[in-house]
């Protein structure tokens, strides 16, 4: 075999390997993971959900006292949302993945500005899908709740308060403080 032919074949093989790793032939829809009104994601989708959460609220590496966002989001969605809302969340997750594929963006937590620009553009459109908007707002809300309920936030950022709060026996209520009197 000639040297040039060997180099050409090695280059083609390496390019093919790079392209094949970027393609995902077995991409499952998130709605396939719905069973009995609960959403049970696989590891790949949990990792993707964690990247989405990290894009909206970059807290990775701040502390090890913050629970993983994907686990918190999935627990809250499964335990606190109705089956109709869980279905809407799953459809919105699919729509979000399709949106990222259409705009040829990869979620990169180092450069979240591009992703946020696309998301804001979708939210600003009047014809945006209700499920996609619900998914984005739910992930954002639950990511914030995950942070504010973590030991890291409670110990390092909140001021110390008595629980229950202090009792004020004589509290003056005047008309200027409360107009409904």
Whole-number pLDDT of residue 124: 66
Work out the angle at residue 152's Cα, subtended by the Cα atoms of residues 146 and 154, and round it to the nearest 5 degrees.
Answer: 80
Q: How far apart are CA 124 and CA 179, in angstroms?
A: 37
**Torsion-angle region of 108 (φ positive above 0: left; ψ -120 to 50: alpha; else: beta):** beta
pLDDT tens digits along 129-152:
788 888 888 998 998 898 888 888
* Mean pLDDT across 41-52: 86
Structure tokens at 179: 């107009």
Structure tokens at 77: 């969605």
The pLDDT confidence band at residue 95, using thresholds 50, 70 and 90, is confident
**Which pTM value belongs to this model?**
0.65
pLDDT tens digits along 117-127:
666 666 666 55
The pLDDT confidence band at residue 169, using thresholds 50, 70 and 90, is confident
Structure tokens at 49: 């959900």
């Amino acid at each position: 075999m000639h040297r040039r032919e060997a180099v050409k074949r090695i280059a083609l093989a390496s390019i093919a390997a790079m392209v094949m790793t970027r393609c995902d032939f077995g991409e499952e829809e998130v709605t396939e993971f719905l069973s009995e009104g609960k959403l049970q994601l696989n590891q790949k989708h949990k990792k993707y959900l964690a990247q989405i959460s990290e894009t909206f609220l970059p807290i990775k590496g701040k502390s090890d006292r913050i629970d993983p966002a994907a686990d918190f989001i999935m627990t809250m969605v499964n335990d606190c949302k109705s089956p109709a809302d869980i279905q809407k969340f799953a459809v919105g997750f699919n729509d979000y993945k399709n949106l990222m594929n259409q705009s040829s963006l990869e979620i990169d937590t180092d450069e979240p500005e591009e992703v946020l620009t696309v998301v804001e553009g979708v939210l600003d459109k009047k014809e945006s899908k209700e499920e996609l908007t619900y998914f984005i707002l739910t992930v954002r809300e639950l990511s914030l709740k995950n942070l504010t309920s973590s030991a890291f936030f409670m110990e390092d950022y909140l001021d110390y308060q008595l629980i229950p709060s202090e009792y004020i026996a004589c509290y003056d209520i005047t008309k200027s403080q409360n107009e409904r009197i």
